[in-house]
Amino acid sequence: MTLRRWVIAGFAVGATALLGGFAPTLDLPGSTALEQSGWTLVTASDDTNVYMRAATTGQAGLRRVWTAYDAARTLKRDGFSFRSVRSLGEYDCRKRVSRVVEETFHGSPALTGKSWQSPKFIPTPWAAPVPESVGAIRMAFACRALNDI
């Protein structure tokens, strides 16, 4: 099985520089499991690998894409400890804005272990990504690469 990795050459994300077509990635348990199950590694930031894959088709003009965040350490949200998160994003590529419409937290790496959705979650407002951020890479992947994968 071919592992999928996608990079915008020369794009810098925080302390992680994507140079020469290669993205530095963390050696996280389960990382290759995500790639082997159809996720594409798009970048790494601090202590988290970020993966994406296409979801079902959205409303006209919108793209829906899943994002998986796989952290090297345990994090907390609303009292729940988690190591990975799966979120569903909607992207309006013409307007260059996106929003998150669903989030599921997982207690273990690679979207495994006990899962949890916050009862407090509401879809985020439409927003443009900050230049040279993980959000900008997610936008580029969703709007330029979906036809190629």
Q: Is residue 27 in some structural domain?
A: no
Residue 106 lies in a domain: yes
For residue 25, what are its two tokens?
């990635």
- Structural domain tally of the chain? 1
Q: Could you tell me the residue range of the domain that residue 115 belongs to? A: 50-148
Q: Residue 146: what pLDDT?
A: 47
pLDDT in tens, the chain (149 residues): 334 444 443 333 332 322 223 344 555 555 578 998 899 999 987 789 999 998 876 677 799 999 999 999 999 998 899 999 999 999 999 999 999 999 999 999 999 999 999 999 999 999 999 998 999 999 999 997 544 43
Domain assignment present for residue 35? The answer is no
> Residue 132 domain-assigned?
yes
Dist. CA 121–CA 43, nearest whole Å: 25
**Residue 18 belongs to some domain of the structure:** no
In a domain? residue 16:
no
Q: Is residue 26 one of the residues assigned to a domain?
A: no
- List, as own/partner pairs, every contact residues 5-12 make where C-beta atoms lie below 8 angstroms and the sequence separation is at least 24, other chains included: 5/35, 5/40, 5/41, 6/40, 6/41, 6/42, 6/52, 6/141, 6/145, 6/149, 7/42, 7/43, 8/137, 8/140, 11/132, 11/136, 11/137, 11/140, 12/132
- Residue 119 in any domain: the answer is yes
- CATH code, domain with 87: 2.40.128.710
- pTM equals 0.77
The predicted pLDDT at position 44 comes to 86
